[in-house]
Structure 1
């Protein structure tokens, strides 16, 4: 059984644009927020490069993590009030699990690196693995705080992140098809991007949630609120997360870092080598190396690289910092055979296609039924009927059934904007005309 934390003498609150107040009454939670590892999340944007499209999207992993904590706190409060366990194994809520749930919610993103997923893809890091390492490594302040609860508490919190914690209710609070993480980022991202797509009735969803032996279910009379959440998530992915210009800026960022790595390996940096990135270029980094990085560190290097003698690095750095995105066209399996010819035309116009062309595919599965044979099976959303029986959501909702198992998204080919500019007497006019002959209405013919 977990040790309970000493409460603060007076509750601490954080003002928040999404949840109004975020309430902290546990001393260990406040201590975790004050650790250097958690404070570093203030310097990592939640949506990476999306602010190049939605200028308000300047919010951080720090504010999101506090929001996930607050939603989880409300879950625990509702469960303790309405569904307290009365006997071991009755499937109701054991409030001794509250602190491990709250700490897991707060710390779930602490392993994210600068520009999150773009950095991760290029350098092969894994933010969830690094999160677990931050929790369990004796060198971190986070580990020291968690150990004040009990010697094995860091490993317990890490097991929630790893989805191996024995109580499925706690795991599903943090990671499932409808969890505190997704609910906060939809509401928060909608607020900061100025869109309405991600809005749903959080209060109602929290009201109809209930624990059972296999995890968390939703009472049947609240099914429409769950439907609304599923549709909101679908729309946010299509309209915000998969925006072609955001993907363009991610492409430029990836190409920029890849070029820097090539120059470092060739010993061709005219300026001093980017010292804080060297361990990642050499694929030999420590946890301390990782924790030194944030968005600001990378942006400082990018600013310096604008005057680097290598023309490709300098140009890509300028494109990224000054928002000069690549253009793109969508393509399918039937039109993908045109891509080699397009790359050749980009090269003929004077651009190295290794750095100035890219394929990007962004797909999402809005909702899926549980499939134990899948590589990453998802926990399905269970609707609890008045008699206590459970039904999977898509069997009860025609709306959700219509999108269950249906992958949405597209594949896009990125290239310099000049390739689609109006032709003139320019030397490359024939090249541009040949390129444009492949394109109609933003897609390949």
Structure 2
């Protein structure tokens, strides 16, 4: 491979079903894509357990990361027409876009909840640690890896760059909405990305959008809202996530109790004990997790065996709508009845809640405050989006939350010797769901 002042002598192109082509011209980006840590993302699905609901959702973090890079590349090209962009800043921006998800673990967010890990923290460790990625970034100077890590940590001095990869409308969200819609086969996530890029302008601390492009921004906000409730929070997907979490929790509890596994969870020990090294984390992917689940179907422990069989063969929990105010009234009796018929409520009676805030105006000082989307008005002033858009105003600052109670209906149906208890459980579950 030959290079000319940091540029490939021949542009490399990835064929992509969402963006048609992904263009790589920089030597740095090409080398980062070739690192073992970035290639690991081929073995981690973008949407975790969503494939059990939408069978096409088999795309990976690798696909998505390339897509975010490509959108960022187009953003940078467009913004260069309106501002002066230093070469190092451009490469920091592109590198952060490419590497923003490199720290994701298997099954992503479900994995993080069980082990209390943070993929962004692991991303920074991969960028700054003894890795191939770090060695590639160091070719740009000793300070370069930290600059890329700071963008991901949202502490980088140039807030405009941070906003392009992490804000209420950024390269990350643009790609995952379009990509996830494509692979799940739904139309909800579609929006006019080309129009958004054309009306994007550099602001002091974040990108802003010309007022004439407001309807494209509205379209994006509504697409995001629909995708969360129709795809990301789908109750069947959440059932699979519940079972996945309970498998990992059960394995963790058994290991702590000294249980003799038929297949020792070698890859999990340091994770369960919060001593996992960077190298151990990089070696962990979904193929390893699935191997253990397959083997644990043969375990002596009935709960672990049952949960793994459910996950592998898609025998998921049923669910009812859940009213949190009713939960306190019936929960003790439900747990008592579960124990009477021999079902452990810690693993077979699960409340799962999902919530989303599709758009929020600026709330300074509040936890997880969000910078608003600003419109550039014809007179050069800025107006917050919800002040101009009736559609966005209607959903601004309104968090929607959904609660569901998951349970194994098949195990309840099989309890022939506990007819009265089973009937009472089903009555309580029906009462819970209204």
Fold-level similarity (TM above 0.5):
yes
Match of 1:46 in 2: 46
Match of 1:21 in 2: 21
Query: Are 1:346 and 1:415, in contact at CA under 8 Å, matched by a contact in 2?
Result: no
Partners of 2:75 and 2:432 in 1: CA distance:
45
Q: In structure 2, do the counterparts of structure 1 residues 270 and 147 end up closer, same or farther at CA, with 3 Å as the change threshold?
A: closer
Match of 2:266 in 1: 275
Query: Are 1:5 and 1:99, in contact at CA under 8 Å, matched by a contact in 2?
Result: no
For the pair 1:97 / 2:89, whether they are aligned, the reply is: yes
Q: Map 1:113-262; keep pairs closer than 5 Å.
A: 113-137=105-129, 139-262=130-253
Q: Secondary structure of 1:437's match?
A: helix
Partners of 1:230 and 1:428 in 2: CA distance:
50
Q: Map 1:274-313; keep pairs closer than 5 Å.
A: 274-313=265-304
Partners of 1:117 and 1:377 in 2: CA distance:
21
Partners of 2:432 and 2:62 in 1: CA distance:
38
CA root-mean-square deviation:
1.7
For the pair 1:374 / 2:373, whether they are aligned, the reply is: no
Q: In structure 2, do the counterparts of structure 1 residues 392 and 44 end up closer, same or farther at CA, with 3 Å as the change threshold?
A: same
- Structure 1's consecutive aligned runs of 4 or more residues displaced over 4 angstroms after TM superposition are 93-96
Normalising by the residue count of structure 2, what TM-score does the alignment of the two structures yield?
A: 0.96
Residue 396 of structure 1 and its aligned partner are, at CA, apart by 0.5
How many pairs does the alignment contain?
Answer: 430
Match of 1:88 in 2: none
The one-character-per-residue Cα deviations of 1:147-180 (angstroms, maximum 9, x if unpaired) are 1111110000000001111111110110000000
Match of 1:11 in 2: 11
Residue 425 of structure 1 and its aligned partner are, at CA, apart by 9.6
Q: In structure 2, do the counterparts of structure 1 residues 5 and 97 end up closer, same or farther at CA, with 3 Å as the change threshold?
A: farther
Q: Secondary structure of 1:213's match?
A: coil
Query: Are 2:28 and 2:136, in contact at CA under 8 Å, matched by a contact in 1?
Result: yes
Larger % of helix: which? Answer: 2
Partners of 1:236 and 1:215 in 2: CA distance:
25
Match of 1:107 in 2: 99
Normalising by the residue count of structure 1, what TM-score does the alignment of the two structures yield?
A: 0.93
Match of 1:428 in 2: 418
Residue 131 of structure 1 and its aligned partner are, at CA, apart by 0.5
Of 344, 351, 354, which residue of structure 2 is paired with 1:359?
Answer: 351
Partners of 1:95 and 1:425 in 2: CA distance:
68
Partners of 2:29 and 2:234 in 1: CA distance:
36
The one-character-per-residue Cα deviations of 1:345-398 (angstroms, maximum 9, x if unpaired) are 333332111111111111010000111111111111000001110000000000
